[in-house]
Chain A
Amino acid sequence: MLLRVNGPKDLLAGLIFIVFGLATFWKSHDYEVGSALEMGPGYFPAAMGVVLTILGIAAIARGLTLKVADPITPHKLEPLLLIFGGIIAFSLLIETTGLLIAAAVLIAMACYRRLRSNPLEVLAIYVGLTGFSAFLFVYLFEMQLPLFWWR
Chain B
Amino acid sequence: MGVFDNILHGFAVALTPTNLMFCWIGALLGTVVGVLPGINVLTTFAILLPLTFKIDPTAAIVMLSGVYYGAHHSLSTTSIMLNMPGEPSGVVICFDGYPMARQGRAGAALATAALSSFFAGCVGIVIIAFFAPALADASLWFQAPEYTAVCILALIGASVVTSKSKINTLGMAVIGLILGTVGTDIHTGVARFTFGTLELDEGFDFVSFAAGLFAFVEIAFRLGSYDAQVQIKTKLRDLIPRWPDIKAAAMPTVRGTALGAALGVLPGTGPFVASYSAYALESRIAKDPSRFGKGAIEGVAAPEAANNASAFTHYIPMLTLGIPAGAVFSMLMGALMMHGIQPGPEIMTKHPDLFWGLIASMWLGNLMLLVLNLPLIGVWIKLLETPYRFIYPAILLLTCIGCYAVHFRVFDIQVAAFVLLVGYVLEKLDCAPGPVIIAMILGPILEENMRRAMLISGGDATVFLRRPISAFFLLLSVALIVTYVVPTFRRSKKKPGPESLVEAGHAE
Contacts and interface: CB of A to CB of B under 8 A. Distances in A.
Interface of A: 9-10, 12-13, 16-17, 20-21, 24, 27-28, 31-32, 36-42, 44-45, 48-49, 51-52, 55-56, 58-59, 62, 68, 70, 72-80, 83-84, 86-88, 90-92, 94-95, 99, 103, 106-107, 110-111, 114, 125, 129-130, 133, 136-137, 141-145
**Chief secondary structure at chain A's binding surface:** helix
Interface stretch (B132-140, B218-226, B251-259, B304-312): B218-226
A59 B168 contact: yes
A91 B410 contact: yes
A91 B181 CA distance: 25
Nearest to B217: A80
Contacts of B416: 87
Contacts of B508: 73
Interface of B: 36, 38-39, 43-44, 47, 165, 167-168, 170-171, 174-175, 177-178, 181, 185, 187-188, 190, 192-193, 216, 219-221, 223-226, 389-390, 392-394, 396-398, 400-401, 404-405, 408, 410, 413-414, 416-417, 420-421, 424-426, 428-431, 447, 450-451, 454, 459-461, 500, 504, 507-508
Contacts of A58: 167
A136 B39 CA distance: 10
B389 A114 contact: yes
Contacts, number: 188
A44 B447 contact: yes
Nearest to B39: A141
Contacts of B504: 68, 70
Given A41-B185, A88-B417, A94 B224 contact: no
Given A17-B175, A87-B413, 6 more contacts: A13-B430, A55-B174, A73-B508, A75-B226, A76-B224, A91-B413
A99 B390 CA distance: 19
A2 to B, nearest CB: 12
Contacts of B168: 10, 13, 59
Contacts of A90: 400, 413
A38 B167 CA distance: 30
7 contacts: A13-B430, A17-B171, A31-B185, A40-B188, A59-B167, A95-B410, A106-B400
